[in-house]
Each structure stands twice: as C-alpha cells, then as structure tokens.
C-alpha cells in the first residue's frame, strides 16, 4: 500500500509505523485494542491509524457481516484521517 511520505498535518514530519492502543466506542461500551498498527509523525505526533487494520477491526466488530439481528450499533473511531473512515453501522 502506497503512503504519502510526509505528514499530512505538518508537511515536514515523517510518519513512522508503530503500534498504540486503539480506542473506540460501541454505544456505551469502550473497546480498547492494544498494539493496534498506526502511523505516528515524528514531528507533530499526529497519529493515523492504519486504514487496512481499521477495516479488519471493523469487520471483527461488525458481526452484521454474516448474521442480521435487530439491534443496531454504531462504531466510531478516533481517527481524524479522511482516508481511514471508522464510522460504521453494525448490527448485533
Ligand atoms: Zn506531522
């Protein structure tokens, strides 16, 4: 997967691949994912969650992929990235 070399925020820093604890809410439940892949800028510290991993996580957190059930839930991630949209509708 190709990535921009420089940080989108400060334009001078280089995002480095690392891991951090990812937080997301599923309605009133706080979900934490330790060691979640992300890119952190070495200058401004901007954190961007790995889009591919987010997609995988959303698949895991969205059981509606296989089994339709009446209860609706929404997962909202913290990523400010325009690429990595974490907003998703899920049905439990
Ligand atoms: Zn930066």
Q: Which of 29-43, 48-62, 66-80 has the lowest mean pLDDT?
A: 66-80
Residue 71 · residue 62 · CB < 8 Å: no
- Distance from residue 10's CA to the centre of ligand 1 (Å): 4
84 in a structural domain: yes
83 in a structural domain: yes
Burial pattern 33-61, b for ≥16 Cβ within 10 A else e, equals: beebbbbbbeeeebbbbbbebbeebbeeb
Q: Domain count for the chain, please give it.
A: 1
Answer whether residue 75 shows pLDDT above 60: yes
- Distance from residue 45's CA to the centre of ligand 1 (Å): 6
What phi and psi values does residue 54 have, to the nearest 5 degrees?
Answer: -60, -40
Per-residue pLDDT tens digits for 5-43: 899 999 999 999 999 999 988 888 898 999 999 999 999
Beta bridge partners of 69: none
10 in a structural domain: no
- Distance from residue 51's CA to the centre of ligand 1 (Å): 18
Answer whether residue 60 shows pLDDT above 90: no
3 in a structural domain: no
The predicted model scores a pTM of 0.57
Q: Which residues surround ligand 1, an ion (CB under 5 A)?
A: 7, 9-10, 13, 41, 43-44, 46
What is the chain's mean pLDDT, rounded?
79
């Amino acid at each position: 997967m190709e990535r921009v070399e420089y940080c989108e925020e400060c334009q001078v820093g280089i995002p480095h691949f690392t891991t951090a604890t990812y937080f997301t809410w599923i309605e009133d439940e706080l979900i934490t994912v330790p060691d979640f892949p992300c890119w952190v800028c070495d200058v401004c510290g901007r954190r961007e969650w790995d889009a591919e991993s987010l997609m995988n996580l959303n698949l895991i957190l969205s059981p509606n992929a296989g089994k339709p059930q009446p209860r609706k839930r929404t997962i909202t991630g913290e990523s400010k990235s325009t690429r990595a949209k974490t907003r998703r509708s899920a049905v439990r």
